[in-house]
C-alpha cells in the first residue's frame, strides 16, 4: 500500500484549513474600513499625548525570574504523563524519572545560587 494513502484525510483537512484561512483573511481585508484619520495615526488612540520615552528599561532579574518559572513549570508538566502510566513502565522508568527530577533540582540550586530567584 502506498504510504500517502494513509495520510489522505490529513491532506484533505490541510487543504480545507488553508482554503478557509485564505478566504477569511481576504474577506476581512475587503470589509475592514480603510479611512485613517489623524487620530488613528497617533501613538495612542485615547487622545492623550504620550509623555516621555516609549521604551522603558527593565532590569534583567524580572526576565530571569520569569524564565526560571516557565522552565520549571513546563518541566513539571512532563512528569504528568509519566505519573499516569507509572505502573505500566516498571523500575527503569522510575529510575529515569528520578534522574530527571535530580537534574531539575540541580538547575533549581544553580538558579538559586546565581540569584535568579531573588525579587528585590
| CATH number of the domain that residue 87 is part of | 1.20.58.1610
pLDDT per residue over 54-75, tens digit each?
Answer: 677 777 777 777 888 888 888 8
Max distance between CA atoms of the chain, in angstroms, equals 69
Q: Cell triple for residue 78?
A: 512532563
| Structural domain contains residue 79 | yes
| Structural domain contains residue 54 | no
Question: Can you give the pTM of this predicted structure?
Answer: 0.47
pLDDT at 13: 92
pLDDT at 43: 66
Burial-class residue 34 by CB neighbours within 10 Å (0-12, 13-18, 19+).
exposed
| Structural domain contains residue 13 | no
| Structural domain contains residue 28 | no
CA dihedral 49, 55, 61, 63 (to 10 degrees): 100
| Structural domain contains residue 14 | no
**Domains held by the chain: number:** 1
- Residue 59: Cβ within 10 Å count: 7
Name the more confident of 4 and 66.
Answer: 66
State the average pLDDT for the chain. Answer: 80
Q: What is the extent of the structural domain holding 75?
A: 60-114
| Structural domain contains residue 48 | no
End-to-end CA distance of the chain: 64
**1, pLDDT greater than 60:** no
| Structural domain contains residue 83 | yes
**5, pLDDT greater than 80:** no
Chain position carrying cell 524519572: 97
Amino acid at each position: 500500500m502506498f504510504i500517502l494513502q494513509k495520510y489522505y484525510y490529513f491532506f484533505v483537512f490541510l487543504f480545507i484549513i488553508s482554503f478557509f484561512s485564505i478566504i477569511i483573511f481576504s474577506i476581512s481585508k475587503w470589509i475592514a474600513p480603510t479611512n485613517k484619520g489623524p487620530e488613528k495615526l497617533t501613538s495612542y488612540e485615547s487622545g492623550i499625548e504620550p509623555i516621555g520615552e516609549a521604551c522603558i528599561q527593565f532590569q534583567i532579574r524580572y526576565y530571569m525570574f520569569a524564565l526560571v518559572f516557565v522552565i520549571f513549570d513546563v518541566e513539571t508538566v512532563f512528569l504528568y504523563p509519566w505519573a499516569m502510566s507509572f505502573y505500566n513502565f516498571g523500575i527503569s522508568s522510575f529510575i529515569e524519572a528520578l534522574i530527571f527530577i535530580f537534574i531539575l533540582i540541580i538547575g533549581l540550586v544553580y538558579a538559586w545560587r546565581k540569584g535568579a530567584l531573588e525579587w528585590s
